[in-house]
Amino acid sequence: MELLDRIDATSATPKYLQVVNAVIADIEAGVLKIGERVPSINETSEMYYLSRDTIEKAYKVLRKKGVISSVKGKGCYISKNFSVDKIRVLLLFNKLSAYKKTVYYSILKSLGEDAIVDLQIHHFDGKICQKMLQENAGKYQYYVIMPHFTTNVEAGREAIKNIPAEKLVVLDKNIENFAGNYAAVYQDFEHDIRNALHSGKDLISNYKKFVLVYPKDIVYPFEIVKGFRQFCRDISMEHAVVNCIHQEPLSPGTGFIVLEESDLADLVKQSREMGLRLGKDIGVISYNDTPIKEILDNGITVLSTDHECMGETAAYLMRQNLKEKVHNPFTLIRRCSL
């Protein structure tokens, strides 16, 4: 096990994770054999001039992943249960919300125990995504990326282009004008919301005006606004787009689409204070379904993609080594608030 030339003190990846990646890479390359003893924490620390704490953290992760196992009184060994055939996947998400967690856990469950899945967050920044991909180049069989960027967009796009197409899975949002035979499970935000709203036109038409609350400081694809406006033009519905729920007075005959759960909470609270009934006096549609929306005020109508299905489909494409581009289901779920 040779570590000195593979530990980069300037890297954003913690040293203990670099040790983890190096050990797994050596197993895959045949440098370390199944059942072979690995140096103890103290031996490795002294041999490679790394702190004991760094090696201890690395070994803890390796044990958790099932890469090494301890034999009392004898030391650590490459686990006989560890398979070099395991699928190794790097997930690069823009943020970790409740919906992203559903996708993440769905991928974990669908891939099963014979997969190693690591998750990192690029925070909508193309340069952060680029750095993460550079640091992890060649370490994974698949790179699953949500390409939602608001800063350094081109840096992120260029970094994704450098991934071999057979290793790339684009998730949640497809990339326009992006060549290559890669896999994708995506939402078509503009057409999805337009089509889903048309499916509920019979209920929506009961209102005089519809308002989309599109937060100013929280990132959502602008295609949502385009699709909403197009739908309202399709049915000649008076409409508005505001950044905050407080910008639009609550009045009977008005319907609202809210993207943020904080705006949903404010809307429900205000309606109660004013004695306005959801689904009767005002209409409410929330974006992205959660279990609490099924029971809040006898049920909140939602526009939502199927996040669990997204994870299952991504896992299936990786398992079967398919390079298909799959549109994820998006629907209007009717409940009492509309």
Q: What is the DSSP string of 111-179?
A: H-TTEEEEEEE-TTBHHHHHHHHHHTTTS-SEEEE----SBSHHHHHHHHHTS-GGGEEEEEE--TT--
- What's the whole-model pTM score? 0.75
Q: What is the pLDDT of residue 2?
A: 61
Q: What is the pLDDT of residue 139?
A: 80
Q: What is the pLDDT of residue 4?
A: 54
Question: Per-residue confidence of the chain (338 residues) as pLDDT tens digits?
Answer: 566 566 777 776 788 888 888 888 788 777 888 889 888 888 888 888 889 999 899 899 888 878 899 888 788 898 887 766 678 899 999 998 888 999 999 999 999 877 889 999 999 999 999 999 998 888 888 999 999 999 999 999 999 999 999 999 999 998 877 877 899 999 999 999 999 999 999 999 999 999 999 998 888 999 999 999 999 999 999 999 999 888 888 999 999 999 999 999 999 999 999 999 999 999 999 999 988 999 999 999 999 999 999 999 999 999 999 999 999 999 999 999 99
Q: What is the pLDDT of residue 85?
A: 67
C-alpha to C-alpha distances, 16 to 113, 116, 137, 283, 284, nearest whole angstrom: 23, 17, 18, 52, 49
151 Ramachandran zone, left/alpha/beta (phi>0; psi -120 to 50): beta
Q: What is the pLDDT of residue 155?
A: 95
DSSP 3-state of 310: helix
Q: What is the pLDDT of residue 5?
A: 62
Domains of the chain and CATH, by start: 4-78 (1.10.10.10), 87-187+307-328 (3.40.50.2300), 190-304 (3.40.50.2300)
The crossing angle, in degrees rounded to 10, of helices 52-64 and 15-29 is: 50
What type of residue is 283? G
From edge to edge, which strands make up the β-sheet containing 37-38? 37-38, 75-78, 68-71
Closest CA to 314 of 105, 158, 134: 105
Q: How many helices (H) and strands (E) does the chain have?
A: 12, 15
Q: How many CB atoms lie within 10 A of CB 4?
A: 9
**How many Å apart are CA 117 and CA 135, to the nearest integer?**
16
**How many Å apart are CA 254 and CA 155, to the nearest integer?**
42
The crossing angle, in degrees rounded to 10, of helices 98-111 and 307-319 is: 30
**How many Å apart are CA 238 and CA 138, to the nearest integer?**
53
Structure tokens at 73: 């009184």
Q: What is the pLDDT of residue 1?
A: 55
